Amino acid sequence: MTTPATVRRPVAVTVAIVLVYLGGLLNTALGILVLLTRYEVTDDLVLPVSLVGAATILLGLLTVAGGSALARGSRLARTLLTTYLTVLVVLQAAALALTELDPTIIVALIAALTVIAAMWIPPHARRYFARTGAESAASTPMI
Protein backbone atom coordinates (compact mmCIF):
# COMPACT_ATOMS: atom_id res chain seq x y z
CA MET A 1 0.00 0.00 0.00
CA THR A 2 1.43 3.37 -0.96
CA THR A 3 0.91 6.54 0.95
CA PRO A 4 -0.20 9.59 -1.02
CA ALA A 5 2.42 12.27 -1.58
CA THR A 6 1.88 15.28 0.58
CA VAL A 7 1.67 18.63 -1.12
CA ARG A 8 3.77 21.25 0.59
CA ARG A 9 2.28 24.67 1.05
CA PRO A 10 4.29 27.36 -0.78
CA VAL A 11 6.08 29.94 1.39
CA ALA A 12 4.07 32.78 -0.17
CA VAL A 13 0.84 31.08 0.88
CA THR A 14 2.15 30.51 4.42
CA VAL A 15 3.09 34.19 4.61
CA ALA A 16 -0.37 35.10 3.32
CA ILE A 17 -2.01 32.92 5.98
CA VAL A 18 0.02 34.52 8.77
CA LEU A 19 -0.81 37.95 7.38
CA VAL A 20 -4.51 37.02 7.16
CA TYR A 21 -4.59 36.12 10.86
CA LEU A 22 -2.61 39.19 11.90
CA GLY A 23 -4.54 41.45 9.56
CA GLY A 24 -7.88 40.13 10.77
CA LEU A 25 -6.98 40.70 14.40
CA LEU A 26 -5.52 44.13 13.68
CA ASN A 27 -8.57 45.11 11.61
CA THR A 28 -10.79 44.09 14.48
CA ALA A 29 -8.76 46.33 16.78
CA LEU A 30 -8.84 49.11 14.18
CA GLY A 31 -12.62 48.80 13.97
CA ILE A 32 -12.82 49.23 17.73
CA LEU A 33 -10.63 52.35 17.49
CA VAL A 34 -12.78 53.76 14.68
CA LEU A 35 -15.89 52.99 16.69
CA LEU A 36 -14.45 54.82 19.69
CA THR A 37 -13.63 57.89 17.59
CA ARG A 38 -17.33 58.53 17.15
CA TYR A 39 -17.12 60.44 20.43
CA GLU A 40 -14.64 62.87 18.85
CA VAL A 41 -16.48 63.71 15.61
CA THR A 42 -19.31 66.12 14.93
CA ASP A 43 -22.89 64.98 15.43
CA ASP A 44 -23.57 64.49 11.72
CA LEU A 45 -20.63 62.02 11.41
CA VAL A 46 -21.47 59.82 14.41
CA LEU A 47 -23.59 57.34 12.43
CA PRO A 48 -21.19 56.92 9.46
CA VAL A 49 -18.20 56.49 11.79
CA SER A 50 -20.12 53.96 13.89
CA LEU A 51 -21.17 51.96 10.83
CA VAL A 52 -17.65 51.94 9.38
CA GLY A 53 -16.23 50.82 12.74
CA ALA A 54 -18.80 48.04 13.20
CA ALA A 55 -18.33 46.79 9.62
CA THR A 56 -14.54 46.79 10.07
CA ILE A 57 -14.86 44.72 13.25
CA LEU A 58 -17.17 42.22 11.53
CA LEU A 59 -14.99 41.84 8.44
CA GLY A 60 -11.87 41.54 10.61
CA LEU A 61 -13.42 38.63 12.47
CA LEU A 62 -14.60 37.02 9.22
CA THR A 63 -11.05 37.34 7.88
CA VAL A 64 -9.66 35.49 10.91
CA ALA A 65 -12.27 32.77 10.43
CA GLY A 66 -11.34 32.40 6.76
CA GLY A 67 -7.65 32.00 7.59
CA SER A 68 -8.04 28.36 8.61
CA ALA A 69 -9.84 27.44 5.39
CA LEU A 70 -7.14 29.25 3.45
CA ALA A 71 -4.53 27.12 5.21
CA ARG A 72 -6.25 24.00 3.85
CA GLY A 73 -6.00 25.34 0.28
CA SER A 74 -9.64 26.24 -0.22
CA ARG A 75 -10.25 28.20 -3.42
CA LEU A 76 -13.54 29.44 -2.00
CA ALA A 77 -11.73 30.79 1.07
CA ARG A 78 -9.24 32.61 -1.15
CA THR A 79 -12.07 34.21 -3.14
CA LEU A 80 -14.05 35.15 -0.02
CA LEU A 81 -10.97 36.55 1.73
CA THR A 82 -10.17 38.62 -1.35
CA THR A 83 -13.72 39.98 -1.25
CA TYR A 84 -13.53 40.70 2.50
CA LEU A 85 -10.17 42.42 2.14
CA THR A 86 -11.38 44.49 -0.81
CA VAL A 87 -14.37 45.67 1.20
CA LEU A 88 -12.02 46.38 4.13
CA VAL A 89 -9.84 48.54 1.89
CA VAL A 90 -12.93 50.55 0.91
CA LEU A 91 -14.00 50.84 4.57
CA GLN A 92 -10.49 51.88 5.60
CA ALA A 93 -10.50 54.56 2.90
CA ALA A 94 -13.80 55.82 4.31
CA ALA A 95 -12.38 55.73 7.84
CA LEU A 96 -9.36 57.66 6.58
CA ALA A 97 -11.70 60.39 5.35
CA LEU A 98 -13.88 60.39 8.48
CA THR A 99 -11.39 60.06 11.35
CA GLU A 100 -7.98 61.25 12.49
CA LEU A 101 -6.34 57.78 12.57
CA ASP A 102 -4.28 58.36 9.40
CA PRO A 103 -1.03 56.42 10.17
CA THR A 104 -2.87 53.42 11.60
CA ILE A 105 -5.29 53.20 8.69
CA ILE A 106 -2.53 53.60 6.09
CA VAL A 107 -0.64 50.64 7.62
CA ALA A 108 -3.86 48.58 7.58
CA LEU A 109 -4.44 49.47 3.90
CA ILE A 110 -0.92 48.38 2.95
CA ALA A 111 -1.30 45.14 4.92
CA ALA A 112 -4.61 44.27 3.22
CA LEU A 113 -3.18 44.91 -0.23
CA THR A 114 -0.09 42.82 0.62
CA VAL A 115 -2.25 39.85 1.66
CA ILE A 116 -4.27 40.07 -1.56
CA ALA A 117 -1.05 40.16 -3.57
CA ALA A 118 0.43 37.18 -1.66
CA MET A 119 -2.67 35.08 -2.38
CA TRP A 120 -2.92 35.82 -6.10
CA ILE A 121 0.43 36.87 -7.62
CA PRO A 122 3.04 34.13 -6.94
CA PRO A 123 2.78 31.24 -9.45
CA HIS A 124 3.23 28.65 -6.67
CA ALA A 125 0.27 30.15 -4.81
CA ARG A 126 -1.93 29.95 -7.89
CA ARG A 127 -0.98 26.29 -8.41
CA TYR A 128 -1.58 25.48 -4.73
CA PHE A 129 -5.12 26.82 -4.88
CA ALA A 130 -5.81 25.31 -8.33
CA ARG A 131 -5.62 21.72 -7.05
CA THR A 132 -8.67 19.59 -7.68
CA GLY A 133 -10.75 18.11 -4.89
CA ALA A 134 -9.19 14.65 -5.37
CA GLU A 135 -5.67 16.09 -5.10
CA SER A 136 -6.62 18.00 -1.97
CA ALA A 137 -8.13 14.91 -0.39
CA ALA A 138 -5.07 12.82 -1.32
CA SER A 139 -2.71 15.34 0.24
CA THR A 140 -4.65 15.52 3.49
CA PRO A 141 -3.27 13.07 6.03
CA MET A 142 -5.76 10.52 7.32
CA ILE A 143 -6.03 10.14 11.08
- Note the pLDDT tens digit of each residue in 40-98: 888 998 999 999 999 989 988 988 888 888 888 888 888 998 898 899 889 888 888 88
pTM, to two decimals: 0.74
- Taking residue 122's Cβ as centre, other Cβ atoms within 10 Å add up to 17
Q: What is the pLDDT of residue 133?
A: 52
- Note the pLDDT tens digit of each residue in 119-132: 888 777 777 777 65
Say how many Å lie between the first and final Cα of the chain, rounded. Answer: 16
Instruction: For residues 13-20, give the mean pLDDT.
Output: 84
- Sequence ranges of the domains in the chain: 11-133
Q: Which amino acid makes up residue 95?
A: A
Residue 137 confidence class, pLDDT cut points 50, 70, 90:
very low
